[in-house]
A and B are shown apart, each in its own frame.
Chain A
Amino acid sequence: MGQAVNIHRLHFAFTITFHYIFPQLTMGLALLLVYLKTKALRTGDEHYNYAARFWARIFGINFALGVVTGIPMEFQFGTNWAAFSKTAGGVIGQTLAMEGVFSFFLESSFLGLFLFGEKRLGRIGHWAAGFLVFLGSWLSGYFIVATDAWMQHPTGYRITANGAIELSSFWSLLLNKWALWQYAHTMLGAVQTGCFVMAGVGAFYLLTKRNEIYGRTFVRAGVLVGSIAAILQLFPTGDMQGRLVAYNQQPTLAAMEGLFESQAGAPLAILGQPDVEKRKLDNPLEVPNMLSFLTYRQWRANIKGLSDFPQAEWPDQIPLLYYAYHVMVGLGTIFIGVMVLAALLLWRGKLYDARWVHWLLMLCVPLPYIANTAGWMTAELGRQPWLIYGLMRTSSGISPRVGAGNAWFTLIGFMGMYTILGILWLFLVYREIELGPDPGHRPSGEDAIVLAAD
Chain B
Amino acid sequence: MGTIWFWLVAIMIAIYVLLDGFDLGAGAIHLCVAKTDEERRQVLASIGPVWDGNEVWLIAAGGTLYFAFPALYASAFSGFYLPLMMVLWLLILRGASIEFRNHIKSAVWDPLWDFLFCASSLLLAVFFGAALGNVVRGVPLDASGYFFEPLWTNFLLGDDTGILDWYTVLVGGLALLALVMHGGIWVRLKTAGAVGERACRLASKTWWAVAALTALVTAVTFQIQPQVKENFMTWPAGFVFPVLAVAGLAGVRWFMTHRNEFRTFLASCAYLAGMLTSVVFGLYPMVLPARNPVYSLTVATAKAGDYGLKIGLAWWIIGITLAAGYFTYVYRSFAGKVAVDKHSHGYSD
Binding site for B on A (CB under 8 A): 60-61, 64-65, 67-72, 74-75, 77-80, 82-91, 93-94, 96-102, 104-106, 108-113, 115-117, 119-120, 160, 164, 166-168, 170, 399-402, 406, 409-410, 413-414, 417, 421, 424, 428, 431, 444-445, 448-454
Contacts and interface: CB of A to CB of B under 8 A. Distances in A.
A94 B67 contact: yes
Contacts of B76: 78
Closest 8 CB pairs of A and B: A89-B70, A78-B77, A93-B67, A453-B102, A90-B304, A100-B60, A166-B305, A101-B319
Contact of B53 (A80, A109, A402): A109
Pick the most buried of B58, B89, B147: most chain A CB atoms within 10 A of its CB: B89
A97 B323 CA distance: 13
Interface of B: 41, 44-45, 48-50, 52-53, 55-56, 58-64, 66-68, 70-71, 73-82, 84-85, 88-89, 91-93, 95-96, 98-105, 144-148, 304-305, 307-308, 311-312, 315-316, 319-320, 322-323, 326-327, 329-330, 333-334, 340, 342-347, 349
B322 to A, nearest CB: 7
Pick the most buried of B60, B82, B101: most chain A CB atoms within 10 A of its CB: B60
A106 B322 contact: yes
Nearest to A428: B103
A424 B100 contact: yes
B345 A72 contact: no
Pick the most buried of B45, B71, B81, B327: most chain A CB atoms within 10 A of its CB: B81
A297 to B, nearest CB: 39
28 contacts: A61-B103, A68-B91, A68-B92, A70-B59, A71-B55, A75-B84, A75-B85, A80-B81, A82-B74, A82-B146, A85-B73, A86-B74, A89-B66, A89-B74, A89-B304, A90-B308, A97-B66, A102-B319, A102-B322, A112-B330, A116-B346, A120-B347, A160-B305, A167-B311, A424-B100, A428-B103, A452-B344, A453-B98
A428 to B, nearest CB: 6
B335 to A, nearest CB: 11
A75 B55 CA distance: 14
Contacts of A115: 49
A150 B60 CA distance: 20
Contacts of B61: 100
B81 A449 contact: no
B67 A89 contact: yes
B74 A410 contact: no
A339 B25 CA distance: 50
Contacts of A84: 74
B63 A452 contact: no
A112 B105 contact: no
Contacts of A400: 78, 144, 146
A99 B323 CA distance: 12
A94 to B, nearest CB: 5
B74 A453 contact: no
A104 B60 contact: yes
B347 A116 contact: yes
A323 to B, nearest CB: 31
B63 A99 contact: yes
A97 B92 contact: no
Contacts of B345: 116, 448-449, 451-452
B142 to A, nearest CB: 10
Given A69-B92, A105-B326, 16 more contacts: A79-B80, A98-B315, A100-B59, A101-B319, A102-B322, A104-B60, A106-B322, A108-B56, A112-B53, A117-B334, A117-B347, A168-B307, A399-B78, A428-B100, A431-B104, A452-B41
Contacts of B66: 74, 77-78, 85, 89, 93, 96-97
A312 B145 CA distance: 30
B67 to A, nearest CB: 3
Contact of A401 (B53, B148, B308, B316): B148
Contact of A64 (B93, B99, B148): B99
A335 B277 CA distance: 55
Contact of B319 (A79, A98, A413): A98
B304 A166 contact: yes
B308 A167 contact: yes
Given A71-B88, A406-B82, A86 B343 contact: no
A79 B77 contact: yes
Contacts of A417: 89, 92-93
A93 B68 contact: yes
A444 B341 CA distance: 12
Contact of A82 (B53, B78, B98): B78
A140 B345 CA distance: 29
A400 B340 CA distance: 52
Pick the most buried of B44, B70, B79, B103: most chain A CB atoms within 10 A of its CB: B70
Given A71-B58, A82-B74, A105-B56, A399 B64 contact: no
Contacts of A413: 85, 89
A316 B234 CA distance: 56
A308 B316 CA distance: 46
B100 A109 contact: no
Nearest to B145: A86
Contacts of A102: 315, 319, 322
Nearest to A69: B92
Nearest to B79: A401
A97 B146 contact: no
Contacts of A70: 59
A97 B64 contact: yes
Contacts of A85: 66, 70, 73-74, 77
A415 to B, nearest CB: 12
B305 A83 contact: no
B60 A101 contact: yes
A398 to B, nearest CB: 9
Pick the most buried of B67, B145, B148, B347: most chain A CB atoms within 10 A of its CB: B67
Contacts of B307: 166-168
Contact of A105 (B53, B58, B147): B53
Nearest to A11: B85
